[in-house]
Chain A
């Protein structure tokens, strides 16, 4: 069986700011339908790496090649949305379907509205559709952002700490939903997270940013759960196949 299509290829990629690399070079091929988590301590360069993969930041060195016509989306940290903007959930969802010059159509299409409704229902947050973001809790806001991801119909999604304000069951359900999207729709997810314990059962690969130790390690959840070094870094991790 042929390997799934390569969506993003990082070659000797170095990421950072002000021409200063935060990490050693990384080689990584990201394939269709994969769920990859990026873990590491605060300031290790996880978000910088994710934004470089998306093309929001320029690499310090090396290259990032994205397949032609790749539709990407981004789920920012819930806290990054300005609470002073009186935005409604259905409006935020509507943006998820806008790509390139799609805003030239002044209103949402029927299909986009239906996608939004389905996405909210999938995550069990339909009653929030007409609520304003500043009325929602952090966890609710994150679920709304995930609903927008579902409605975006993207090939590749990068999620920045999508479960930071969620409890244990909601965190597990989020990773399970990403797994389902990967299996059913072939959507690839790169998830920057600290919730490695909840993620391991649902992900294909783990990228560990450990600048003080082994640099960058691309590994599997199973190896993570068996490595004393990673246990020391992230606490007890149990992997269930």
Chain B
């Protein structure tokens, strides 16, 4: 491996031994133990809990907080915002590698991801009407630009191409403790602000005109919301990978929206957070036991949650129709 910075997202099962040895406080562990007879067992997973716990907790925390934020992203029709931010986070990490390899600057990839994500969030949050651009136009431009940049930068750091690929798609089975701590802190702060300002965020998001008339600082709330999304996505992208960060920031809300038919709006947020956390952990376990790339399985599980939600909703509707159909028609005298 070169001297380029490493992130938790760049580690596959094949790299376990090398990374394990480089992590302080972890015992040396033979990776072949976990791949005998068609894949690792629960016992092996439990035995290696010290090694895997940060990754499992990262998936849980990132899934929960991204799932919570996904409700805003989906209901405010900002899915493209999330796509552009996650793509930017990937580019930020790739830029950190580029700077280390070609320019000799050792930049923390998390810093690169955060800076690039916040920059995109700031560009999206401001009005470009004077330049003759709508938000969709700006988003299209940013998404295309960051996608292109990811490939261009990736081609210039070919010796670390595997790492960049890992960042974009997420193949981490273990997570760097520094990445985990950063993700946990950012998530805790964002969640605290989200719960404290909940009434403000919802009012400004879903009835912005009235909120402005009531002199609620809608622009500030939008900026904080987008900034929160950017911060969490940046941390999740550098810890889990850009692909699962995008999936977990959109799909849980879709599933929750389909499943929650009663109760206040907060229930949708809570269910989305639970689905996000479950998808993160289930995806991780799936990847661990079937030896697949973690980010991809987390994305597939999050997608499956939507399919399951559609099926449940259809079944419930069918059942209700059948029950109503069996009820005797009200008599004309009633």
Beta-carbon contact of B215 and A85 below 8 Å:
no
Q: When chains A and B are docked, how far (Å) is the Cα of A7 from the Cα of B201? A: 30
Min CB distance A7 to B, Å, is 14
- Give the contacting residue for B260; candidates A80, A81, A86, A102; CB below 8 A: A86
> Restricting to A65-108, which residues have a CB under 8 Å from any CB of B?
72-76, 80-82, 84-88, 90-92, 94-95, 98-108
Beta-carbon contact of B214 and A73 below 8 Å:
yes
A232 interfacial contact with B, CB 8 Å: no
- Give the contacting residue for A106; candidates B195, B212, B257, B265; CB below 8 A: B195
Instruction: Specify which chain B residues have a CB less than 8 angstroms from the CB of A132 in the assembled complex.
Output: 262
A1 interfacial contact with B, CB 8 Å: no
- A86-B260, A101-B217 known; A81 and B268 CB under 8 Å? no
- A86-B260, A88-B265 known; A99 and B214 CB under 8 Å? yes
> Restricting to B209-228, which residues have a CB under 8 Å from any CB of A?
209-217
Interface residues on A, range: 35 or more
Min CB distance A24 to B, Å, is 26
Instruction: Specify which chain B residues have a CB less than 8 angstroms from the CB of A106 in the assembled complex.
Output: 195-199
Query: Can you name the residue of chain B whose Cβ is closest to the Cβ of A157?
Result: B213
Query: Can you name the residue of chain B whose Cβ is closest to the Cβ of A101?
Result: B217
Beta-carbon contact of A95 and B210 below 8 Å:
yes
B106 interfacial contact with A, CB 8 Å: no
Beta-carbon contact of B203 and A85 below 8 Å:
no
- A91-B202, A104-B196, A104-B200 known; A86 and B268 CB under 8 Å? yes
Min CB distance B75 to A, Å, is 5
Q: When chains A and B are docked, how far (Å) is the Cα of A110 from the Cα of B19? A: 56
Q: When chains A and B are docked, how far (Å) is the Cα of A20 from the Cα of B308? A: 52
Q: When chains A and B are docked, how far (Å) is the Cα of A158 from the Cα of B207? A: 15
- Give the contacting residue for A85; candidates B75, B199, B263; CB below 8 A: B75
Instruction: Specify which chain B residues have a CB less than 8 angstroms from the CB of A94 in the assembled complex.
Output: 199
Q: When chains A and B are docked, how far (Å) is the Cα of A95 from the Cα of B221? A: 15
B38 interfacial contact with A, CB 8 Å: no
A56 interfacial contact with B, CB 8 Å: yes
Min CB distance A74 to B, Å, is 4
Beta-carbon contact of B197 and A76 below 8 Å:
no
- A72-B213, A73-B214, A95-B211 known; A87 and B197 CB under 8 Å? no
Instruction: Specify which chain B residues have a CB less than 8 angstroms from the CB of A61 in the assembled complex.
Output: none
Beta-carbon contact of B209 and A76 below 8 Å:
yes
Instruction: Specify which chain B residues have a CB less than 8 angstroms from the CB of A91 in the assembled complex.
Output: 202, 264-265
Instruction: Specify which chain A residues have a CB less than 8 angstroms from the CB of B212 in the assembled complex.
Output: 55-56
Instruction: Specify which chain B residues have a CB less than 8 angstroms from the CB of A105 in the assembled complex.
Output: 199
Instruction: Specify which chain B residues have a CB less than 8 angstroms from the CB of A107 in the assembled complex.
Output: 199
B206 interfacial contact with A, CB 8 Å: yes
Q: When chains A and B are docked, how far (Å) is the Cα of A72 from the Cα of B264? A: 27
- Give the contacting residue for B213; candidates A54, A80, A87, A104; CB below 8 A: A54
Beta-carbon contact of B213 and A103 below 8 Å:
no
Instruction: Specify which chain A residues have a CB less than 8 angstroms from the CB of B257 in the assembled complex.
Output: 84, 86
- Give the contacting residue for A87; candidates B195, B196, B201, B206; CB below 8 A: B206
- A74-B209, A84-B75, A95-B210 known; A103 and B265 CB under 8 Å? no
Min CB distance B209 to A, Å, is 6
Beta-carbon contact of A85 and B214 below 8 Å:
no
> Restricting to A176-225, which residues have a CB under 8 Å from any CB of B?
none
Beta-carbon contact of A82 and B216 below 8 Å:
no
Q: When chains A and B are docked, how far (Å) is the Cα of A104 from the Cα of B201? A: 10
Beta-carbon contact of A82 and B213 below 8 Å:
no
Min CB distance B97 to A, Å, is 40
Min CB distance A60 to B, Å, is 16
What are 26 contact pairs spanning A and B, CB under 8 A?
A: A55-B213, A56-B212, A56-B213, A73-B214, A74-B209, A74-B210, A80-B209, A82-B75, A86-B268, A91-B264, A91-B265, A95-B203, A95-B207, A95-B211, A98-B199, A98-B203, A99-B215, A99-B216, A100-B215, A100-B216, A103-B203, A104-B196, A104-B197, A106-B196, A106-B199, A152-B214
Can you add 20 more A-B contacts, CB < 8 Å, to A76-B207, A99-B215, A99-B216?
A51-B209, A55-B212, A55-B213, A73-B213, A76-B210, A81-B207, A84-B75, A84-B257, A88-B265, A91-B202, A95-B199, A95-B207, A98-B199, A99-B214, A100-B214, A101-B217, A103-B197, A103-B201, A106-B196, A152-B214
Nearest 5 A/B pairs, CB to CB = A103-B200, A74-B213, A103-B199, A95-B203, A74-B210
